[in-house]
Amino acid sequence: MVDEIRQYTLTDCSSLSQLRYTEKVLLESLRMAPALLRGTRLLKTTDGKPTKIGHYILPCNTQVHFSQYLVHHNEEFWKDPHILNPERWNDNFNPEPYTYMPFLAGPRGCLGKHFAMMIMKLTLVSILQKFDLIPRLNKERKPTIDQGMAVMRIRNNVDYELVPV
């Protein structure tokens, strides 16, 4: 990814689509560590009758809680789900509906997901074309996910040193 970014020349925002491997890394990173750990939706039906989901029958107007993190790490949907593998996002890969939802999904999904992807690419280009990132991890205080929040938050900072290229 770093090589791709360092060879890239930004001409306009549409040229960011040239960063194909960078996009794969971002997609896989969002699968591994979605910004939202869980979500809630109110189950509505057009006829007001209960709905069967898996082995469960849920009445209309039931609050359904779900975890993007757990879905993104479920072996039923993802081969080797705990391994960071940007190559899984090849041109023919299309995850099953609602198995990949870092920006949620469906009609209530994030309107800004394309903008967010563009900003992430621009940020990586701005940093990686000028700096090498050197991890400075504190081995006594390993980063962990704070699961008490709906938004993913890392406990114990992950520090990097920026060294000019």
- pLDDT tens digits, 100-120: 999 988 888 889 999 999 999
Lowest mean pLDDT of 45-49, 123-127, 140-144, name the range: 140-144
**pLDDT score for 109:** 86
Regarding predicted confidence, which is higher, 145 or 39?
Answer: 39
Q: How many CB atoms lie within 10 A of CB 128?
A: 20
Whether pLDDT at 153 is above 80? no
Confidence of residue 26 (pLDDT cuts 50, 70, 90): very high
- Alpha carbon distance 39, 68 (integer Å): 7
What are the tokens at 156?
A: 């114990």
CB 97 within 8 A of CB 3: no
**pLDDT score for 155:** 75
Segment 103-112 long-range contacts (CB within 8 Å, at least 24 positions apart): 104/36, 104/39, 104/68, 108/41
Classify the phi-psi angles of 54: left when phi > 0, otherwise alpha if psi is within -120 to 50, otherwise beta. Answer: left
Confidence of residue 151 (pLDDT cuts 50, 70, 90): confident
40's enclosing H/E stretch is strand 39-42
Confidence of residue 19 (pLDDT cuts 50, 70, 90): very high
One-letter amino acid for residue 162 of the chain: L
- Alpha carbon distance 130, 107 (integer Å): 39
Q: How many CB atoms lie within 10 A of CB 125?
A: 19
**pLDDT score for 53:** 86
Single pTM value for the model: 0.86
- Alpha carbon distance 142, 157 (integer Å): 8
Rounded average pLDDT over 139-143: 77
